[in-house]
Amino acid sequence: MDKIPASIEMTIRKFIEEAGQSHRIKSAYLYGSYAKGVASKWSDIDIAVILTDYSDDLFEERVSLMRIAAQIDDRIEPYPFLEETFAANNPLANEIQKHGIRIV
Protein backbone atom coordinates (compact mmCIF):
# COMPACT_ATOMS: atom_id res chain seq x y z
CA MET A 1 0.00 0.00 0.00
CA ASP A 2 2.91 2.24 -0.83
CA LYS A 3 1.02 4.80 -2.87
CA ILE A 4 -1.62 5.77 -0.33
CA PRO A 5 -1.13 8.17 2.58
CA ALA A 6 -0.34 6.57 5.94
CA SER A 7 -3.39 8.19 7.55
CA ILE A 8 -5.68 6.59 4.94
CA GLU A 9 -4.00 3.21 5.43
CA MET A 10 -4.57 3.46 9.19
CA THR A 11 -8.22 4.38 8.60
CA ILE A 12 -8.70 1.39 6.29
CA ARG A 13 -7.06 -1.02 8.73
CA LYS A 14 -9.20 0.28 11.59
CA PHE A 15 -12.35 -0.23 9.51
CA ILE A 16 -11.35 -3.80 8.59
CA GLU A 17 -10.54 -4.58 12.23
CA GLU A 18 -13.90 -3.22 13.44
CA ALA A 19 -15.88 -4.85 10.62
CA GLY A 20 -14.15 -8.17 11.25
CA GLN A 21 -15.68 -8.32 14.72
CA SER A 22 -19.18 -8.77 13.29
CA HIS A 23 -18.56 -9.98 9.72
CA ARG A 24 -16.64 -12.95 8.35
CA ILE A 25 -14.17 -11.18 6.11
CA LYS A 26 -12.09 -13.36 3.80
CA SER A 27 -10.33 -10.47 2.09
CA ALA A 28 -10.64 -6.76 1.36
CA TYR A 29 -9.43 -4.53 -1.46
CA LEU A 30 -8.96 -0.80 -1.79
CA TYR A 31 -10.18 0.32 -5.20
CA GLY A 32 -11.12 3.53 -6.94
CA SER A 33 -9.17 6.78 -6.84
CA TYR A 34 -6.96 5.89 -3.86
CA ALA A 35 -5.88 2.62 -5.46
CA LYS A 36 -5.20 4.43 -8.73
CA GLY A 37 -3.19 7.14 -6.99
CA VAL A 38 -5.44 9.97 -8.15
CA ALA A 39 -7.39 10.73 -4.98
CA SER A 40 -8.26 14.26 -3.96
CA LYS A 41 -9.32 15.55 -0.57
CA TRP A 42 -12.94 14.89 -1.62
CA SER A 43 -12.39 11.27 -2.66
CA ASP A 44 -14.25 8.36 -1.12
CA ILE A 45 -12.28 5.46 0.31
CA ASP A 46 -13.72 2.58 -1.71
CA ILE A 47 -13.29 -0.80 -0.03
CA ALA A 48 -14.49 -4.12 -1.42
CA VAL A 49 -15.21 -6.47 1.49
CA ILE A 50 -15.27 -10.15 0.50
CA LEU A 51 -17.36 -12.17 2.95
CA THR A 52 -17.24 -15.91 3.47
CA ASP A 53 -20.93 -15.83 4.29
CA TYR A 54 -23.60 -13.31 5.16
CA SER A 55 -27.10 -13.03 6.50
CA ASP A 56 -29.97 -13.64 4.11
CA ASP A 57 -29.81 -10.05 2.91
CA LEU A 58 -26.68 -8.62 1.28
CA PHE A 59 -28.26 -5.16 1.44
CA GLU A 60 -28.41 -5.44 5.23
CA GLU A 61 -24.75 -6.48 5.26
CA ARG A 62 -23.90 -3.33 3.33
CA VAL A 63 -25.92 -1.18 5.71
CA SER A 64 -24.16 -2.78 8.67
CA LEU A 65 -20.73 -2.17 7.08
CA MET A 66 -21.70 1.43 6.31
CA ARG A 67 -22.66 2.00 9.95
CA ILE A 68 -19.25 0.75 11.05
CA ALA A 69 -17.57 2.90 8.40
CA ALA A 70 -19.48 6.02 9.48
CA GLN A 71 -18.12 5.65 13.01
CA ILE A 72 -14.55 5.62 11.68
CA ASP A 73 -14.49 7.94 8.65
CA ASP A 74 -17.48 9.07 6.60
CA ARG A 75 -15.43 8.83 3.40
CA ILE A 76 -15.32 5.02 3.63
CA GLU A 77 -17.61 3.35 1.07
CA PRO A 78 -17.72 -0.39 1.78
CA TYR A 79 -19.02 -2.68 -0.94
CA PRO A 80 -19.66 -6.27 0.19
CA PHE A 81 -19.24 -9.29 -2.05
CA LEU A 82 -19.98 -12.88 -1.24
CA GLU A 83 -16.86 -14.95 -1.86
CA GLU A 84 -18.46 -16.83 -4.78
CA THR A 85 -19.68 -13.63 -6.44
CA PHE A 86 -16.25 -12.03 -6.21
CA ALA A 87 -14.69 -15.08 -7.88
CA ALA A 88 -17.36 -15.22 -10.61
CA ASN A 89 -17.35 -13.24 -13.84
CA ASN A 90 -18.57 -9.99 -12.25
CA PRO A 91 -17.39 -6.81 -14.05
CA LEU A 92 -16.86 -4.77 -10.86
CA ALA A 93 -15.09 -7.66 -9.12
CA ASN A 94 -12.87 -8.16 -12.17
CA GLU A 95 -11.92 -4.47 -12.14
CA ILE A 96 -11.16 -4.58 -8.41
CA GLN A 97 -9.03 -7.71 -8.75
CA LYS A 98 -7.12 -6.20 -11.65
CA HIS A 99 -6.53 -2.66 -10.35
CA GLY A 100 -7.31 -2.76 -6.62
CA ILE A 101 -4.89 -3.08 -3.74
CA ARG A 102 -5.41 -6.10 -1.51
CA ILE A 103 -5.60 -5.08 2.13
CA VAL A 104 -6.39 -8.42 3.76
Asked whether 17 and 48 are in contact (CB, 8 A), the reply is no
What was the pLDDT predicted at 51? 93
What was the pLDDT predicted at 10? 96
Which of 72, 62, 68, 63 is CA-nearest to residue 10?
Answer: 72
- Is 0.75 surpassed by the pTM of this model? yes
Q: Tell me the domain boundaries of the chain.
A: 6-102
CATH topology of domain 6-102: Beta Polymerase; domain 2 (3.30.460)
Q: What is the DSSP letter of 24?
A: -
Burial of 69 (0-12, 13-18, 19+ CB in 10 A): buried
Tens place of pLDDT per residue across the chain (104 aa): 667 889 999 999 999 999 999 999 999 999 999 999 999 999 999 999 999 987 677 788 899 999 999 999 999 999 999 888 898 888 999 999 999 999 99
Residues whose CB falls within 8 Å of the CB of residue 92, separated by 6 or more in sequence, listed in order: 79
